[in-house]
């Protein structure tokens, strides 16, 4: 074994002395650590919890802000939605389904025959404007062919009279035409239909509006609420009958007088982009006949006033 090697006796005693010294240092440190608890550690710990708190605060703040932003965004979106809905609601024409009625109230019980005859005679002479549409139904001057749905209270004063022709695919009488309209709560229809046998059908009292023009396409401010519609029954190459035209003139005269209407139009005149009815209608003949009944009315009224004066 070589001299000065790690395991000789001299070295061994030196090593044991060093170990003893280190043992002393360690035990001293141990005692000191008990007497003075580690301030350094507590400081680190404290600062760590502070960081933790700050982070939590920051996270909370960020979350709140995010939530706030989200809420603001969703609120803004909601407000936008409502505004859009309001705008579309404004743009849409005032045609609310709930305003439509299935039936309009009417008393159809017949008047006594003498009264009915007098009302009928006055109607044909153009002297019936003081009688209500209901009275004329009760006198049998108008035939009650009720609309089921497609009726609504008027939102405007009556100022126009629109004449149509039914133009069905195949010949159909007034009752069949009304039946063909009566589907659902809001459907087309006119207040009157003049059949080929000269019979005048009233579907509803003209104090109610019906849908007989397309308000988005009409000229001259004609709406369903400010107009009364009269259909003349006609199809294909049919000509209007004499009795039909005579009844039409009497009806137009009555409606004009009763409601103070000055404007009479054909559907095609006020809705030229999509309608041409009344088809093959002789406006000159109609105007002449209307003037005749009007002058007769005026003459009769003049005579009656003379009679009253004695
Ligand atoms: Zn029409």
DSSP for the chain reads --TT-TTSHHHHHHHHHHHHHHHHHHHHHHHHHHHS--HHHHHHHHHHHHHHHHHHHHHHHHHHHHHHHHHHHHHHHHHHHHHHHHHHHHHS-S--GGG-BS------PPPPHHHHHHHHHHHHTT--TTS-HHHHHHTTSEEE---SS-BEE-SS---EEEEEE--BSS---HHHHHHHH-SSSS-B--SEEE-TTSPEEESS-TTEE-B-S-TTT-STT--STTEEEEEE--BTTPPPPHHHHHHHHHHHHHHHHHHT--EEEEHHHHSTTT--PSTT--HHHHHHHHHHHHHHHHHHHHHHHHHHH-
- Residue 1 alpha carbon to ligand 1 centre in Å: 133
With tokens 């996270």, the residue in question is: 59
Tokens of 16: 């044991």
Q: Select from 262, 297, 292 the least CA-distant residue to 123.
A: 297
Is residue 305 over pLDDT 80? no
- pLDDT attached to residue 50: 46
For 146-161, the pLDDT digits (tens) are 999 999 999 999 999 9
Q: Are strands 192-194 and 200-202 parallel, antiparallel or unpaired?
A: antiparallel
Q: Among the listed ranges 36-50, 57-71, 211-225, which one has the minimum average pLDDT value?
A: 36-50
Please indicate, yes or no, if residue 39 is contained in any of the structural domains.
Answer: no
- Residue 133 alpha carbon to ligand 1 centre in Å: 22
Number of compact structural domains in the chain? 1
Please indicate, yes or no, if residue 238 is contained in any of the structural domains.
Answer: yes
Q: Select from 191, 110, 199 the least CA-distant residue to 146.
A: 191
- Residue 231 alpha carbon to ligand 1 centre in Å: 7
- Residue 213 alpha carbon to ligand 1 centre in Å: 7
- Residue 149 alpha carbon to ligand 1 centre in Å: 19
- Residue 197 alpha carbon to ligand 1 centre in Å: 20
- pLDDT attached to residue 17: 76
- pLDDT attached to residue 48: 46
- The sign of the dihedral angle between the CA atoms of 97, 103, 105, 111 is positive
Please indicate, yes or no, if residue 19 is contained in any of the structural domains.
Answer: no
Is residue 303 over pLDDT 70? no
Please indicate, yes or no, if residue 37 is contained in any of the structural domains.
Answer: no
Residues flanking ion ligand 1, Cβ below 5 Å:
164, 267, 277
- Residue 108 alpha carbon to ligand 1 centre in Å: 28
CA separation (Å) from 108 to 97, 137, 139, 190, 241?
Answer: 27, 6, 9, 19, 28
Is residue 197 over pLDDT 70? yes
Is residue 238 over pLDDT 50? yes
- What band does 85 get if pLDDT is binned at 50, 70 and 90? low
- Residue 45 alpha carbon to ligand 1 centre in Å: 91
For 136-153, what is the mean pLDDT?
98
Q: How many residues are present in the chain?
A: 310
Is residue 96 over pLDDT 70? no
Give pTM, 2 decimals.
Answer: 0.68
Please indicate, yes or no, if residue 224 is contained in any of the structural domains.
Answer: yes
- pLDDT attached to residue 24: 75
- Residue 16 alpha carbon to ligand 1 centre in Å: 125
- Residue 305 alpha carbon to ligand 1 centre in Å: 40
- What band does 66 get if pLDDT is binned at 50, 70 and 90? very low
- Residue 226 alpha carbon to ligand 1 centre in Å: 16
- Residue 278 alpha carbon to ligand 1 centre in Å: 7
Is residue 64 over pLDDT 90? no
Mean pLDDT taken over the chain: 82
Please indicate, yes or no, if residue 272 is contained in any of the structural domains.
Answer: yes
Please indicate, yes or no, if residue 264 is contained in any of the structural domains.
Answer: yes
Q: Domain range spanning residue 251?
A: 102-309
Please indicate, yes or no, if residue 276 is contained in any of the structural domains.
Answer: yes
Alpha carbons 41 and 26: distance in angstroms, whole number: 19
By the 8 A CB rule, do 149 and 186 touch?
yes
CATH number of the domain to which 136 belongs: 3.40.80.10
């Amino acid at each position: 074994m070589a001299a000065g090697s790690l395991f000789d006796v001299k070295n061994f005693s030196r090593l044991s002395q060093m170990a003893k010294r280190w043992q002393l240092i360690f035990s001293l440190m141990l005692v000191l650590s008990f007497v003075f608890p580690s301030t350094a550690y507590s400081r680190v710990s404290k600062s760590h919890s502070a960081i933790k708190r700050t982070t939590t605060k920051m996270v909370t703040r960020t979350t709140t802000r995010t939530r706030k932003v989200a809420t603001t965004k969703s609120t803004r979106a909601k407000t936008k939605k409502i505004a859009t809905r309001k705008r579309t609601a404004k743009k849409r024409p005032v045609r609310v389904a709930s305003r439509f009625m299935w039936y309009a109230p009417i008393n159809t019980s017949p008047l006594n025959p003498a009264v009915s005859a007098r009302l009928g005679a006055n109607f044909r002479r153009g002297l019936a404007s003081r009688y209500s549409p209901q009275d004329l139904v009760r006198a049998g001057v108008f035939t009650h062919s009720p609309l089921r749905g497609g009726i609504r209270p008027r939102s405007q004063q009556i100022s126009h009279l629109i004449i149509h022709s039914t133009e069905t695919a195949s010949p159909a009488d007034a009752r069949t035409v009304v039946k063909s309209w009566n589907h659902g709560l809001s459907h087309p229809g006119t207040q009157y239909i003049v059949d080929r046998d000269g019979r005048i059908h009233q579907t509803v009292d003209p104090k109610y509006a019906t849908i007989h023009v397309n308000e988005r396409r009409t000229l001259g401010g004609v709406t369903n609420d400010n107009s009364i519609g009269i259909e003349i029954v006609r199809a294909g190459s049919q000509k209007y009958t004499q009795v039909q035209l005579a009844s039409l003139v009497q009806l137009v005269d009555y409606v004009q007088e009763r409601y103070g209407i000055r404007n009479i139009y054909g559907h095609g005149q006020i809705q030229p982009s999509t309608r041409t009815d009344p088809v093959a209608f002789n406006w000159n003949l109609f105007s002449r006949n209307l003037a005749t009944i009007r002058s007769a009315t005026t003459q009769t009224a003049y005579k009656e006033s003379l009679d009253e004066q004695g």
